Chain A
Amino acid sequence: MPFPREKLEKILSSPSPVGNLRWSALEWEVLRLWQEALEGRFVLLHAGAVSLPGRGAVLLPGRTGTGKTTFTLALVSRGWTYFSDDCAALDPDTLDIRPVPGAAHLRGTPRGRGRISLRTLPSETSPTGTSAFPRRRHLPLPGESSPVRAILFPAHDREDLPPGEAVPLAPGMAAYELAFHSMARGQQSFLRDFRAVCRLARSVPAFRLSTRDLDRASLLARDLLA
């Protein structure tokens, strides 16, 4: 959904001290335009995406509120490269991910903010939220891509998931859940995305992962790419 134009113009024309709001509005608009441009070429999934140099990437699909942004930022604070916290761009031919620009948006403030080492600002898109900007050293190089090596469905509130274990998800179920997280608009994109996520689910292992303990979950994610 585009940022309301009147609101955008009002924010952009306002003097300080609304610089943070001005940035959030701009960032929102840039992200929207970027997504429109990406959608023709890439499968856009409601997912976080991070990579480890030389080892590949993990996708973190999830509904809003499952903790994918928190887990994405936790991994970034432990040396992973930030591709996206909410909208992952997957190449349907190579099954590599590409970076999607934009701040990470949290409902509250980041857990373990000191360790995460982010610049944070109040979010314009959520009154109680925070926009987190990963440092340059956490970002991929322009045009960088990374092959997806695992899919992790994070959940911070699932008490049935063992905290120190990645629970394997059968590939058919993983494909179904990935298709559910497709952000495609239009039949042609949707069918391309459906085929791509089925290929991905056959190609790489998928797991459910409790992220209540971010340290343990981060170690598990690293082990999966070993």
Chain B
Amino acid sequence: MPLPARRKDILSEEFEDGLVLCDPITEQVVYLNATGAAIWEMCDGETDPGDMVRELVSLFPEADEEKVKREVVAFLADLQARGFLGS
């Protein structure tokens, strides 16, 4: 199964509170908070979701790992459904 990879043509604008992404083809715009932005940055085609979870847990040690795992999986599925991830 391919590792999550963000589409190269997605426009990304960085803000102090997160990222705003724009799909130039569908003209869809999404807002990612700081956690979502961190996951998006890890969608480099080389990092598997398990590593993303471990990275987030190291950034937020008080977070429940199982909950982080569920949220990462749901978030990636959402990005995939919106077409923001490539192959």
- Complex Cα–Cα for A171 and B33 (A): 11
Which chain B positions have C-beta within 8 A of A194? Answer: 11, 13, 22, 29
A66 smallest CB distance to B (angstroms): 19
Which chain A positions have C-beta within 8 A of B27? Answer: 187, 190
Instruction: Find residues 1-44 in chain B having any chain A CB closer than 8 Å to their own CB.
Output: 11, 13, 15-20, 22, 24-25, 27, 29-31
Secondary structure at the B interface, as helix, strand, loop or mixed, is strand
B77 smallest CB distance to A (angstroms): 21
Interface residues on B, range: 10 to 19
Which chain A positions have C-beta within 8 A of B24? Answer: 187, 190-191
Q: Select which of A172, A187, A191, A195 is within 8 A of B31 by beta carbon.
A: A172
Q: Is there a chain B Cβ closer than 8 Å to A201's Cβ?
A: yes
Q: Is there a chain B Cβ closer than 8 Å to A170's Cβ?
A: yes
The answer to whether A180 and B29 have CB atoms under 8 Å apart is yes
Q: Select which of A170, A176, A195, A198 is within 8 A of B30 by beta carbon.
A: A176
Which chain B positions have C-beta within 8 A of A219? Answer: none
Q: Is there a chain B Cβ closer than 8 Å to A175's Cβ?
A: yes
In the complex, residue of chain A having the shortest beta-carbon distance to the beta carbon of B24: A191
A197 smallest CB distance to B (angstroms): 9
Which chain A positions have C-beta within 8 A of B31? Answer: 172-173, 175-176
In the complex, residue of chain B having the shortest beta-carbon distance to the beta carbon of A202: B15
The answer to whether A172 and B17 have CB atoms under 8 Å apart is yes
Q: In the complex, how many residues of chain A place their beta carbon closer than 8 angstroms to a beta carbon of chain B?
A: 16
Instruction: Find residues 179-200 in chain A having any chain B CB closer than 8 Å to their own CB.
Output: 179-180, 187, 190-191, 194-195, 198
Residue-by-residue, is A52-83 near B (CB-CB < 8 Å gives 1, otherwise 0)?
Answer: 00000000000000000000000000000000
The answer to whether A179 and B17 have CB atoms under 8 Å apart is no
- Complex Cα–Cα for A134 and B25 (A): 40
A10 smallest CB distance to B (angstroms): 37
Q: Select which of A172, A187, A195, A198 is within 8 A of B18 by beta carbon.
A: A172
The answer to whether A175 and B16 have CB atoms under 8 Å apart is no
Which chain A positions have C-beta within 8 A of B20? Answer: 172, 175-176, 179, 198
The answer to whether A170 and B29 have CB atoms under 8 Å apart is no
- Complex Cα–Cα for A170 and B15 (A): 9
- Complex Cα–Cα for A190 and B15 (A): 20
If A171-B16, A194-B22, A202-B15 are given as contacts, then 10 extra A-B residue pairs at C-beta distance below 8 Å, sorted by A number, are A170-B17, A172-B16, A172-B17, A172-B19, A179-B20, A180-B29, A187-B27, A191-B22, A195-B11, A198-B20
Interchain Cβ contacts under 8 Å between A and B, 27 examples: A170-B15, A170-B16, A171-B15, A171-B16, A171-B17, A172-B15, A172-B17, A172-B18, A172-B19, A172-B20, A173-B17, A173-B18, A175-B13, A175-B15, A176-B20, A176-B31, A180-B29, A187-B24, A187-B25, A187-B27, A190-B24, A190-B27, A191-B24, A194-B29, A195-B11, A195-B13, A202-B15
